[in-house]
Amino acid sequence: MQSFRTELENPVVEKDIIDLEQKIRAFREGKIHDEKFRSLRLARGVYGQRQPGVQMVRIKLPFGKVTFKQLLRIADVSDEYGSGNLHLTTRQDIQIHYVSLDRTPELWAELERDDITLREACGNTVRNVTSSPDAGINPEELFDVSPYAQAVFKYFLRNPICQEMGRKIKISFSSTEKDTAFSYIHDLGFIPKVNEKGERGFKVMFAGGLGAQPFLASVVHDFLPEDQLIPYSESVLRVFDRHGERTNRNKARLKYLVQKLGLEEVTRLIAEEVIANKSKSFKVDLGTVPLPALPEALAATDQRPADEVHYKRWLDTNVFPQKQSGFYGVYIKVPVGDIKTDKARLFVAAIRPYVADEIRITQNQGLLLKFVSAEALIPLYTVLNELDFAVPGFDSVGDITTCPGTDTCNLGIANSMSLAAVLEGVIHEEYPDLIYDKDIKIKISGCMNSCGQHGLAHLGFHGSSVKANGKVVPAVQVMIGGGTVGDGEGRVAERVIKAPTKRAPAILRTVLDDYSTNSGENESFHQYYDAKGKDHFYQLLKPLADLTALKDEEYVDWGHEETFVTAIGVGECAGVVIDLVATLLLEGEEKLLWAGSAFEGKAWSDAIYHSYSVFVNTAKALLLDKSISSSTQTGVIREFDTNFVETGEVVLPSTFNELVLQINKNEPTEEFAIAYLEQATQFYSAMRAKREAQVNVN
């Protein structure tokens, strides 16, 4: 690890990487519990794959922005440490697969040379902050949301309030009211607004989510001033950390906290946290995401595309005029989001003369190129076409979003990527004109958890299974009627029917044909679905769900040759909380060190929050010694009072509740940080001594 110390310029990152290497070593030596180690590596972007002994590494790219140099670095890292493939995700990340755990610190160090992080790409943290990929160049936008997304990413990265939450938090920024970043299915979704005074702000969508049980977000602010974006988000995370579920992963998202306490009570709790926030007002630096350097101007030529018809289709479906006069944005369809590293290098070399040095990854697993001049369109099309990157129909019916499914994911039930390729083939071969239809979205997930966003699709599929003739048959759950309406309003797709996965192409044809035949003039798919009703589609597709005459090939999933079996591993979408007394006490000691370090750095708010964690972890440890558990931090505080303070077993100057919850009744000043850290230190020392005395007696 010596090379990390000498080659990395950022000491905070250097410490992170060295810490990961040391924790891996301790895990290998049996000094760290498996589940605790899982939580730690997930927060550093290292995720267990379906295949034993290898990891998926998720790279956190705020709002999907990546430069040429960064993309080339990621390609080199994938060749050296992974499988030579880059997978673009629906959260605008890049994933590398088949990585050895022991090499992840070295991999991370290589990425950091070009300012690329793994930190908090997975785990119980604030995940990658997403935005509309066209932010900054959209002709209809009120202002560029990119600097705000960057500010949120930077503010909460390594922030102690969101390192060990009950589960993840997802945040998005849409560029316009068309809501192309899907605010309605995020924990926090922001849509830009300008008030009557000309001031910037955001409409705030709150506590949405997909997963197995989708929830549509609620509007909590019609106009939140821009300087309140960070303070409000911090208050939300503080409430979620303290009150969110920590035992039952299936109920551990913000949407379930709202379901449990009610929106009014949760918003009241958020307002209570304002006093403790590090910032009461936060001015976002609008220069943090400057427009990229423009490519050199090209002289006009008489060059013509080899296939005029194909070029015209590409131009009509993949190219749009930017708000910057004379320039165009160009979308690239990437089949199932996979790019081989050798092709990635050829791609960068090919586009470099024609586009600005900033690529955005899109939510449907494609790419957006910026600042293409009119003179560069034909040359760019030509080089893209040579790489099979000029496929028309970006974000159309023929551009299907999918998660990795059983290719690499522990939770995958079905091979979603192969199914997506098959269905795209049906569209392009049998319904070629639908590449112009951008109103209908088809999305596929390998399981019910909606990583492929099937829950917000007009026509969605997720992996499942059915039993027939004593065998398990790979199946798809068909979802219809979801999608974006606009300005924070969305629809969740309804479960209609389950059918063998090999019949998905027939299902697709049946729905598209019925829509073409039975929809009214200028009737949108949503209007058509609402007019017909769910039962219409159930009856329409019922013959395709009949299991009485299955063919041999229907027992085999797409992309496979063997008979289907359901083999689902343990999902790692959130780290598992470890309820081991000794581990919790050790964590308390570690957090005391962090609090002291933050205090020395005059980061009063961080020192206070680490001290708060010392109180909660220590109390939880002693409660577990009595076989008492609680699923929330507020529950831990309450139970400690009941079982230790009120019984007289532990004597405090006040109730434990009053002692700990000073945190949201005081400004984060130096004076309070001194007092609170001292109290946390005294409490930890006393409780550790108490337990050690009990252990010695026993």
Q: Is 171 strand, coil or helix?
A: strand
C-alpha to C-alpha distance for 292 and 306, rounded to whole angstroms: 31
Domain ranges of the chain: 2-112, 130-276, 308-386, 401-555, 581-697
Compare 84 and 29 and report the one with higher pLDDT.
Answer: 84
Nearest to 361 by CA among 178, 125, 116, 152: 116
**Does CATH number 3.60.20.30 belong to domain 401-555?**
no
Share of the chain above pLDDT 70, in %: 94
- The rounded Cα 278 to chain-centroid distance in angstroms is 25
537 burial (CB, 10 Å; 0-12 / 13-18 / 19+) is buried
Exposed e or buried b per residue across 332-342, where buried means at least 16 C-beta atoms within 10 angstroms of its C-beta: bbbbbbbbbbe
Tell whether pTM > 0.85. yes
Take residue 662 and report the two structure tokens written for it. 């000073």
Fold assignment, 581-697: Four Helix Bundle (Hemerythrin (Met), subunit A) (1.20.120)
Residue 240 CA to residue 533 CA, distance in Å, equals 38
**Structure-block tokens of residue 185:** 């299915």
Of 27-31, 145-149, 561-565, the least confident: 561-565
Say which range, 48-62, 185-199, 410-424, has the weakest mean pLDDT: 410-424
565 pLDDT higher than 60: no
Average per-residue pLDDT for the chain: 92
The pLDDT confidence band at residue 405, using thresholds 50, 70 and 90, is confident
The closest of 307, 320, 298 to 375, measured between CA atoms, is 298
User: How confident is the model at residue 578, as a pLDDT?
Assistant: 34
pLDDT at 577 over 80: no
CATH number of the structural domain 2-112: 3.90.480.20
Q: How big, in percent rounded to 5, are the helix, strand and coil portions of the chain? A: 45, 15, 40
* Tokens of residue 126, six digits: 């604030």
Q: How confident is the model at residue 408 (pLDDT cuts 50, 70, 90)?
A: low
Instruction: Provide mean pLDDT across the span 579-584.
Output: 65
pLDDT at 129 over 80: yes
Taking only the tens place, the pLDDT of each residue in 651-662 is: 999 999 999 999
Percentage of the chain modeled with pLDDT above 90: 76
pLDDT above 50: residue 250: yes
On whether the 130-276 domain is CATH 3.10.310.40, my answer is no
What is the SS3 string spanning 544-581?
HHCCCCCCHHHHCCCCCCCCCCCCCCCCCCCCCCCCCH
- Asked if residues 330 and 379 have their Cβ atoms less than 8 Å apart, the reply is no
Distance CA 381, CA 450 (A): 34
CATH topology for 308-386 is: Alpha-Beta Plaits (3.30.70)
- Residue among 191, 202, 255 nearest 455 (CA): 255
What confidence score (pLDDT) does residue 407 get?
Answer: 64
Q: State yes or no: pLDDT of 573 exceeds 70.
A: no
Residue with tokens 């939880």: 620
For the chain, the farthest-separated pair of C-alpha atoms sits apart, in whole angstroms, at 91
Contact predicate 174/180, CB 8 Å? yes
Considering only residues 38 and 476, tell me which one the structure prediction assigns the higher pLDDT. 476
Mean local confidence (pLDDT), 359-369: 97
Question: Is the sign of the CA dihedral 136, 138, 144, 148 positive or negative?
Answer: negative
pLDDT, tens digit, for every residue of 629-653? 899 999 999 999 999 999 999 999 9
**Do the domains 581-697 and 2-112 match in fold?**
no
Q: Which tens digit of pLDDT belongs to each residue from 67-123?
A: 999 999 999 999 999 999 999 999 999 999 999 999 999 999 999 999 999 999 998
| Number of other CB atoms surrounding residue 6 within 10 Å | 7
- Given a cut of 90, whether residue 668 has pLDDT beyond it is yes
Strand (E) positions, 195-255? 200-206, 218-225
Rounded CA-CA distance 500/475 in Å is 4
Amino acid code (one letter) for 242: R
